[in-house]
Chain A
Amino acid sequence: MISTATVLRQLELWRSFTARELKTRYLGSISGAAWVFIHPAVLLLLYSFLLTVVFQTRMQGVAAQQVVAHVAIGLWPWLMFSEGLQRATGSLQENSPLLGKVSVPSHLLVLASLSATFLLHCVGYLFVIALMAGLDMGIELSGVVVVLPLLIMLFGLCAGLVLMLAPLQIFVRDLAQVLAQVLAFMFFLTPVLYGKSQLPEGMHFWMSLNPLSFYIEHARTALLTGEHGPEPGGVLLALLLVALSLALGIGLFRRLRGHLEDFL
């Protein structure tokens, strides 16, 4: 049976793998930790410029002052999802020098890669939210209380997905390229640059089929209106989806785990 000591050890390893991942990804570069803040600030600036100066966007059902916030709130969950998936999918291959030589809990390598992406963008997200609140862009700061659990659920959803994708990538090397293409298309099918209110009534159902819609729409409601309390049915469905993703991910990873080294 699984003992407490094993769980603690796994958690500790997960933590240290994540720390290592963060270190090699950003903090190793010359500007170091500053990037964690520079990148989101520049991104926010660019979107503000595009939306307010170049296109002078008006959105139906969104106050003019909140247009940038409307997009930004959707953008960061998307970044976590797409970058998290892409990076973690390649994580096993990246760590092949370890996998072939020592016995490593390989699932932790995958989860650590995802955790690092989520942590970086979480910090960026919170920073941007604070920035927008400070710049009076129509942000309700209390909405953060809803956003954090949403992000944890999103992490669960992604964790299940990468536990499927990462081992598959070892067997089917084109998976990473295919995934990049799929995500490029998916960006436009996800309500980042637009929202539910901009879509005709008849398309709401189709949009809700994209699991990311749930997270983005609820983050928007919470952060733009301050209303907490997404309808229980939707939350239950999202939780079920997370559970399903995790179950499939863990199942597939277990099945393929023993064969990874043979194909590396």
Chain B
Amino acid sequence: MSLLTLSGVSKSYPKLRNKREHLRAVASLLFRGRLPAALTSPVLQNISLCVERGASLAVIGENGAGKSTLLKLLTGVLQASSGSMQLNGSIGALLELGAGFHPDLTGRENIELAGQLIGWSPREIKQASEGIIAFADIGDYIEQPIKHYSSGMVVRLGFAVLASRKPDLLITDEVLAVGDESFQKKCVAWTEQYLAQGGTLILVSHSMYHVQKLCRHALWLKRGRAEMQGEVFAVTQAYLAYHERKGNKQASAIRNTDHSQYQVKRVSLNGNEAENGFQHRQDEDLRVEADLYAPDARVPQILVGIVRADGTPVFGFGSEFDPVQPLALPGQLLRYRVCLPNLALLPGHYQIRVSVLDPEGVRLFDTATHEIVVQGASRLMGMVRLPYRWLTD
């Protein structure tokens, strides 16, 4: 039996623009027990999810995509508008700042309150308190009302309470980002240990580093819908690429269709001609084959460039720099073939741009762009793997 199953869960929030709509909504709630559809706007639509014991799932997405709402549904703070949810186990959650603490109560009193809400006996609360206070490590502030805390201290206390519970399912919402470096490390270390002991985690984070470090699966929410769901590296890479593309709408160069000029007629990557979605395993050879159209029987130059999905250049080279002759084909075509052995690109979304220049290498006539997804489970950072070795002597 799965720990958590969601099927077709949707959530709408009331969207009331004026007093009349407000009154209509209240009347409808009172007499029919639900809101009329016209007065709501959907935040989450048709989310289905299955989380097994011991799994670790990251929920990623832009601001307002519905991540927090999803977590609130899971923890029972909000009720789903439709769909069904089944949870077989205890759940511990740290949602947003404030973490369910009462601002007027002191840290110690809030620990007590949290313990009561979990269902601990006074003795259990007393026993757990010392450990929580030690983990939070906020000194004398424990006797101060929460409203005097810095946001980092609130999160420290919140995480400490959570850590003391060891729930079957742990849910945290973008909270690790608030604590300072050393506390973050402490939380990450605790979470890794919790997962190693068979705990289950659902994490919302904008830090792909934390996501990849802690989670094996990911769910990408986009405008309230599940955009992509699956293995963490695939989902996060697609998500990052989406952001990179968003920042680079002007991208692809205009194609040249003038038959009296040089053209890039055909490009294939490892024998594949599709313009987008070419999948490439990290560290495998990449062979680029390009047929250039040269109507004047001279030999044009080729330029091959690799850019990241957002347009950042990664690497470029051309026939002009190296003594290379293309293969002449019928139909005034010239074929260049090149191999990039053990392609050192790190996992992510890139474009291969093949351009044709005049024989002097001065004027650029045409560029073909092919998207390529480098797959892999590397946690190295950046775009390329540079050779390195540790010096141990």
Contacts and interface: CB of A to CB of B under 8 A. Distances in A.
A102 B29 contact: no
Contact of A13 (B72, B98, B100, B117): B117
A103 interface: yes
Interface string B64-81: 000000001001111100
Contacts of B35: 259
B99 interface: yes
B117 A104 contact: yes
Nearest to A17: B116
Contacts of A186: none
B29 A259 contact: yes
A101 B77 contact: yes
A256 B109 CA distance: 30
A262 B14 contact: yes
Interface residues of A, number: 26
B93 interface: yes
A98 interface: yes
Contacts of A101: 77, 95-96, 98-101
B116 A24 contact: no
A49 interface: no
Nearest to A95: B102
Contacts of A95: 102
A12 B124 CA distance: 14
A255 B29 CA distance: 8
A98 B103 CA distance: 9
Given A102-B77, A172-B26, A20 B98 contact: no
A102 B79 contact: no
B102 A97 contact: yes
B96 A256 contact: no
Given A104-B117, A255-B30, A259-B29, 17 more contacts: A13-B116, A13-B117, A16-B112, A20-B109, A24-B105, A98-B101, A99-B77, A101-B95, A101-B99, A101-B101, A102-B77, A102-B117, A168-B26, A171-B26, A259-B35, A261-B72, A261-B77
Interface of B: 13-14, 22, 25-26, 29-30, 33, 35, 72, 75-79, 93, 95-96, 98-105, 109, 112-114, 116-117, 119
14 contacts: A20-B109, A95-B102, A98-B101, A101-B77, A102-B117, A103-B77, A104-B117, A172-B26, A256-B29, A256-B30, A258-B79, A259-B35, A261-B78, A262-B14
